[in-house]
């Protein structure tokens, strides 16, 4: 090998050290996990089976659990209080919401959040973006829901993103946390129910639910 070629190689190493020396050997414990453990500890990698595994996992987490026997008295009292409040609410109806109420809620929406199951984002409903026709439509929808006590089907959907907690084995779903992203309009409705009904409550609340 000529001295000229050796000089070129030496200069190349000095100029581009990253390509030569940035290679990192990753241990098995640091490598990304592919698939998740299913029943019996078997590794599930098929996309359809993985989707079913996640669905079953969150169904189990969200299912209704029986109350401890020593808490049954509290359950009975809470149910009586609920039915009493429900009876009182039928005779004391709140006034229809107005645009001023809705704008207060829309101003509290945070930017940069992920899309909802229908592809909508909060920025579409902010005061500087939403046109009057959209605000009027939201008011008609929300007041109709409040009056008739019926929620339309398109508001009941939600996305679940499962994230690793950075603790424990990656392939174990017990070490993942679910973040629930509801339909944007449903979130605005929920915020309206809270902040218009309870005007003294602070506007800074989270839009995500963790499981």
Q: 187: burial class by Cβ within 10 Å (0-12, 13-18, 19+)?
A: buried
User: For position 11, what pLDDT does the model report?
Assistant: 47
CA distances from 4 to 20, 152, 183 (A): 20, 77, 66
More confident site: 189 or 32: 189
Under 8 Å CB-to-CB from 37, ≥6 apart: which residues?
Answer: 43, 44, 171, 172, 173
Q: Rounding to the nearest 10 degrees, give the CA dihedral for residues 20, 22, 23, 26.
A: 170
Band (pLDDT 50/70/90 cuts) for residue 44 is confident
More confident site: 90 or 185: 185
User: For position 83, what pLDDT does the model report?
Assistant: 92
Q: Considering all CA atoms of the chain, what is the largest pairwise distance in Å, rounded to the nearest integer?
A: 98
Closest CA to 160 of 147, 148, 176: 176
23/29 Cα distance (integer angstroms) = 18
User: For position 17, what pLDDT does the model report?
Assistant: 44
210/180 Cα distance (integer angstroms) = 7
User: For position 42, what pLDDT does the model report?
Assistant: 83
196/101 Cα distance (integer angstroms) = 6
Of the ranges 54-58, 195-199, 200-204, the best mean pLDDT one: 54-58
Q: Which of 14-18, 70-74, 136-140 has the lowest mean pLDDT?
A: 14-18
Band (pLDDT 50/70/90 cuts) for residue 184 is very high
Entry pTM: 0.66
User: For position 40, what pLDDT does the model report?
Assistant: 78
């Amino acid at each position: 090998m000529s001295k000229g070629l050796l000089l070129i190689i030496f200069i190349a190493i000095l100029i581009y050290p990253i390509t030569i020396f940035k290679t990192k050997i990753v241990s098995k414990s640091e490598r990304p996990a592919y698939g998740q453990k299913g029943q019996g500890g078997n590794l599930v990698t098929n996309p359809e089976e993985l989707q079913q595994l996640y669905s079953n996992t969150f169904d189990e987490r969200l299912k209704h659990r029986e109350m401890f026997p020593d808490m049954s008295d509290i359950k009975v009292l809470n149910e009586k209080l609920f039915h009493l409040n429900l009876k009182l609410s039928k005779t004391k109806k709140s006034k229809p919401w107005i645009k001023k109420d809705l704008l207060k809620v829309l101003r509290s929406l945070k930017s940069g959040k992920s899309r909802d199951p229908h592809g909508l984002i909060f920025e579409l409903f902010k005061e500087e973006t939403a046109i009057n026709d959209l605000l009027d439509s939201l008011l008609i929808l929300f007041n109709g829901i409040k009056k008739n006590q019926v929620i339309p089907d398109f508001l009941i959907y939600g996305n679940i993103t499962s994230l690793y907690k950075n603790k424990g084995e990656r392939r174990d779903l017990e070490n993942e946390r679910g973040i629930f992203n509801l339909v944007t309009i449903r979130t605005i409705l929920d915020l309206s129910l809270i902040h218009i009904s309870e005007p003294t409550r602070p506007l800074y609340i989270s839009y995500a639910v963790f499981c």
